[in-house]
Amino acid sequence: MPLSDIVRAVEDQFHRDTIPVLRRRGWRPRAIPYTGYGAAEPTAHTENLPDAERSAVSPETHAPRDMARILARMVMRPPNAPSEGPLFQRLPEELPATPQDARRQAAESLLEAQRGWRMFIDVPMPHLPVTVRLGAVSVRTRADREGYVDVVVRGHGLPPGWHEATLEAAGAKTVTSRVFVVAPGPRLGIVCDIDDTVMVSHVPRMFVAAWNQLVKHTSSREPVPGMARLLSGVRQDHPGAPVIYLSTGAWNVVPTYRSFFERNGFPEGPMLMTDWGPTNTGLFRSGIEHKRTGLRRLMIDLPEVKWLLIGDDGQHDPLIYGEAAREHSDRVAAVAIRRLTPTEQVLAGAQLAHPTGLAPETRALAESGVPVATGMDGFELARALHPV
């Protein structure tokens, strides 16, 4: 029997043995919602066709083309555990004016800090029935063996913009998940990496996961200069453009990233992360395959969006984006690669940067004919992308 199968069997048995004990101690299921995305139904369908042509359209043509991808995770938590949402939107503008303000800020800091280490001891609720409601549609599903919910809701009938989906599960409080519905028609979208692209932790890449979970205070991480302005500027120039953060980081650190984005002015958008546990094919998931699959899924779910792909040259972004641009050049508007400093290259576990700023493996980018911009930060990338 493969080692990954043995590890999965041990993990499943541990959860089966642990959950009843936690229930007796008062722990209950809790839904952790993640931001989702979707597409709106095109307004012009058969309304402009003559009567004879409209009657000849097959029933399949009338199938709803609006969809939404809802993401969440079901876990066990003690009744007094703080919520997963951000405790505040930004850093305090001034020092506390009263003792009450000081106590409140101290309490918020303690709660924020404890969320970090608590993410290490998440106990998933596998196979828990979950009902998802969005618009006038209700879908029943089950969490997977790690407690994750990833379901597509079709025919929701919602207009473009931000909406809320409701998640209900037995024994858990009802929660809402934000969903960004993309307007129909051709438009630009952004896919952006996180670690070393918009955020620098100054720790070796192999320790980034532990750092992001244990060191919850987002002030200990630095944003890449100009990246928030770059993303916000593209979205301002292209109203309604979806911003998708595609990362090999674990789902557990989404609250960390969400707080970091809010504090540093990054536009809100879905985060497509991964679970690092054993799979049917191996002991660990492949980060490269996660990003490849994520890009393919976005191109299928949002077929009218043309993507600006943003990453860094510390790991595999140039290779993955180069493949996508070569195979789907009509779906990629441009590729922007942040060049890491020599120190960041070492911490990222990569070789020093190629003299051109891109690794040799990115020949696929040149072969695709897609515009490529490189720069040390968001300001340089914005200048390089401006002609595009």
- Measured CA distances, 193 to 73, 81, 136, 198, 250 (Å): 22, 30, 34, 7, 13
H runs (alpha helix) in 25-87: 51-56
Q: What is the pLDDT of residue 92?
A: 46
Task: Return the structure tokens found at 79.
Answer: 């009744």
Q: Which residues, 6 or more positions from 303, have their beta carbon under 8 angstroms from its beta carbon?
A: none
Give how far the C-alpha of residue 184 lies from the chain's centroid of Cα atoms, to the nearest Å.
Answer: 22
- CA geometry: angle 206, 345, 261, nearest 5 deg: 70
H runs (alpha helix) in 171-248: 208-214, 227-237
Q: What is the pLDDT of residue 353?
A: 45
| Cα–Cα distance for residue pair 376/238, rounded to 1 Å | 24
| Cα–Cα distance for residue pair 310/299, rounded to 1 Å | 16
Give how far the C-alpha of residue 108 lies from the chain's centroid of Cα atoms, to the nearest Å.
Answer: 25
User: Mind listing the pLDDT tens digit of every residue in the chain (388 residues)?
Assistant: 565 566 667 766 766 778 888 888 888 999 999 999 999 988 644 344 444 444 444 444 445 689 999 999 999 888 777 666 543 334 444 556 676 666 665 555 544 444 444 544 568 899 999 999 999 899 999 999 889 999 999 999 999 999 999 999 988 999 999 999 999 999 999 999 998 899 887 655 556 655 555 554 545 578 999 999 999 999 999 999 999 999 988 888 888 888 889 989 999 999 999 875 555 544 455 678 899 999 999 999 999 999 999 999 887 888 899 999 989 999 999 999 999 877 666 666 655 445 444 555 557 677 778 999 999 999 999 999 988 7
Determine the residue type at 156. H
- Beta bridge partner(s), residue 162: 180
Task: Return the structure tokens found at 21.
Answer: 């004990």
The full set of domains in the chain, from first to last, is 7-41+65-93+122-180 (2.60.40.10), 187-385 (3.40.50.1000)
H runs (alpha helix) in the chain: 3-24, 51-56, 99-118, 208-214, 227-237, 254-264, 287-301, 317-327, 342-347, 363-368, 378-385
Task: Return the structure tokens found at 328.
Answer: 């789907």
| Cα–Cα distance for residue pair 214/373, rounded to 1 Å | 35
| Cα–Cα distance for residue pair 374/388, rounded to 1 Å | 13
pTM of the model: 0.81
End-to-end CA distance of the chain: 53
- Beta bridge partner(s), residue 38: 68, 181
Q: What is the pLDDT of residue 58?
A: 41
Residues 4 and 276: beta-carbon distance below 8 Å: no
Residues 335 and 373: beta-carbon distance below 8 Å: yes
Task: Return the structure tokens found at 200.
Answer: 């620098």
